[in-house]
């Protein structure tokens, strides 16, 4: 299988973004979430407005980027961004209003915290968000849009760092390894120890 040169891959990833960067008066941001599916921890959304140049090498859907590379990219992305913001919704609220509504709340809060005025947002799949910009959903957008991919990496790094911190408080569950997702190790720990304060009660009913 022939590997696509990195510069060529980046140019392709930025194709949907470029249509907005070329328009006068448009300020584009990408938005993405991390943590809708885990049994524990928050859902985190990032809104990131990235310049069209330079395109930062190795940006991709955060799930396709190694943890080591995500950590290396994080300061580059946050320093290069025209502006970015993150928002976190924690398990107590997720249990109260459900994960979809919690995710939508995090999107609205991240957008509201942006330090610059954004006119258009590229979003990974979600529609009907309570934000003032024009919304352009792209299915699998974190793999198809440069701006969404940047946002996905920032959100992923911040959430993963939090889960590693929580592992020190609740070492039984392996949060540093599973990041709160329902691994076999995590499920076994739930059955043995029961939930800890950062578990989503609505997600773990079958295991406790």
Architecture of domain 6-164: 2-Layer Sandwich (3.30)
User: What is the average pLDDT value for the chain, to the nearest integer?
Assistant: 96
pLDDT of residue 20: 97
How confident is residue 2, by pLDDT bands cut at 50, 70 and 90? low
Task: Give me the percent of the chain exceeding a pLDDT of 90.
Answer: 96
What does the alpha-carbon distance between residue 177 and residue 179 come to, in Å, rounded to a whole number?
A: 6
Side-by-side strand order, sheet with 83-89: 83-89, 43-49, 28-34, 120-124, 134-138
**Pick the residue with more confidence: 29 or 208?**
29
How confident is residue 1, by pLDDT bands cut at 50, 70 and 90? low
- CA distances (Å), 67 to each of 62, 161, 186, in order? 9, 11, 20
Tokens of 164: 């590693």
32 φψ region: left (φ > 0), alpha (ψ -120 to 50), beta (else): beta
SS3 of the chain: helix, strand, coil, percent, to 5: 50, 15, 35
How confident is residue 192, by pLDDT bands cut at 50, 70 and 90? very high
pLDDT digits (tens, 9 = 90+) for 90-113: 999 999 999 999 999 999 999 999
All structural domains of the chain with their residue ranges: 6-164
- pTM for the model stands at 0.96
């Amino acid at each position: 299988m022939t590997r696509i040169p990195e510069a060529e891959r980046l140019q392709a990833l930025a194709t949907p973004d470029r249509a907005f960067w070329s328009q006068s008066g448009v300020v584009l941001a990408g938005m993405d979430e991390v943590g809708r599916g885990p049994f524990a921890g928050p859902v985190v959304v990032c809104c990131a407005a990235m310049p069209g140049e330079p395109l930062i090498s190795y940006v991709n859907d955060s799930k396709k980027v190694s943890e080591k590379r995500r950590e290396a990219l994080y300061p580059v992305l946050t320093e290069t961004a025209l502006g970015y913001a993150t928002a976190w919704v924690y398990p107590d609220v997720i249990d109260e209003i459900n994960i979809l509504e919690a995710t939508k709340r995090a999107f609205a809060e991240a957008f509201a915290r942006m330090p610059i005025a954004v006119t258009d947002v590229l979003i990974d799949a979600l529609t009907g968000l309570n934000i003032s910009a024009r919304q352009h959903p792209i299915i699998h957008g974190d793999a198809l849009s440069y701006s969404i991919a940047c946002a996905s990496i920032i959100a992923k790094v911040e959430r993963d760092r939090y889960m590693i911190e929580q592992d020190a408080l609740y070492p039984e569950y392996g949060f540093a390894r599973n990041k709160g997702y329902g691994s076999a190790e995590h499920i076994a720990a739930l059955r043995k120890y029961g939930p800890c304060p950062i578990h989503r009660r609505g997600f773990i009913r079958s295991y406790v």
